[in-house]
Amino acid sequence: MRADDILNTLTKKELAVFKLRALYTASGYSRYKMSKFEEYDLYAKNKDFLPTEDIITFKDGQRLLALKPDVTLSIIKSCQDRLHGVSKLCYNESVYRPQNGGQFKEITQVGIECLGEVCESEVAEVIGLAGASLAGITDTYALEISSLDIISAMLDRLPLSYQGRKKMLECIADKSEGGIFDVARDEAILSDRLEPITALISIYGAPAEVRPSLLALKTEGAVGEAIDSFISLLDTLDGGEVGRHLFVDFSALGNMKYYNGVAFKGYIRGIPKCVLSGGQYDRLLARMRKNMRGVGFAFYLDELDMLPE
């Protein structure tokens, strides 16, 4: 049988796995294979990192094991505590999570993780590969990017309670300006102090388009530093292939207990939800006592089933 005949029998998802694996290995990422099971304790300690608290568990002798609900935690766990240089890994794994609060589903994820002495160039490389992954499927894709450091620095300037901060982040993720004012009212924060946050959630567009709006939000201290660092990364990305598809959108968030730096999400026209999600997770690494930085993403291949024929 000819190779072309074999390729013609593959589903979109199977073809995508081959394409992405070739892309990642050609970019210097080593394949990483892991067990389907993991000790439950790993997830119990990092529950908020997962999108769900529901995990399938079973006993193996005296050990309580779980069917893996996540890949990143397992990769970090297996890493040395300190890395010199950078370790670049790619994977193709199944994880098990309930969907829409209902039945458990096997979810196919392909992704990469870059760990160790990660600098702006590695972050840019990973975002570039996220774009190349989407480009391998279609040329009508969008990669949105946000800076958690800018959001975090802006929220630090408001006298928010723990709950208030959590609600404020939900409102930013929903682009809900009204919600931001409601939270501020409950937390007795004057509405004129909200201007930078409401301006931030209204920012949406290509890096060059939003640059003036971002610069207008610059202030002394952490906010200004975070904006400078974000603009520097955007400048690097804007010159690359991914630049044409890149949109700055501060509604792309991750749990701030674990994530920092940039977060990004990928969308394909015709699929009603995000198909790729990633970001920097130095805080998660610090919580797991790993002396290193990390950035990566996962591509949710099952969502490709929704792509119109």
**Footprint on this chain of other proteins (rule: CB under 8 A):** 140, 142, 144, 174-176, 178-179, 204-205, 247, 249, 251, 267-269, 271-274
CB 21 within 8 A of CB 110: yes
Question: Is 206 or 222 the residue whose CB approaches other proteins more closely?
Answer: 206
Return d(Cα 166, Cα 217) in angstroms, integer: 22
Minimum distance from residue 270 beta carbon to other proteins (Å): 9
CB 107 within 8 A of CB 92: no
Question: Is 178 or 212 the residue whose CB approaches other proteins more closely?
Answer: 178
Question: Is 105 or 273 the residue whose CB approaches other proteins more closely?
Answer: 273
Give the CA angle between residues 135, 32, 51 to the nearest 5°: 70
Question: Is 158 or 203 the residue whose CB approaches other proteins more closely?
Answer: 203
Phi and psi dihedrals of 111, rounded to 5?
A: -170, 180
Minimum distance from residue 167 beta carbon to other proteins (Å): 11
Question: Is 37 or 204 the residue whose CB approaches other proteins more closely?
Answer: 204
Minimum distance from residue 275 beta carbon to other proteins (Å): 9
Return d(Cα 178, Cα 199) in angstroms, integer: 13
Minimum distance from residue 208 beta carbon to other proteins (Å): 16
Minimum distance from residue 111 beta carbon to other proteins (Å): 19
Overall residue count recorded for the chain in this entry = 309
- 120: closest CA among 26, 24, 261, 244? 261
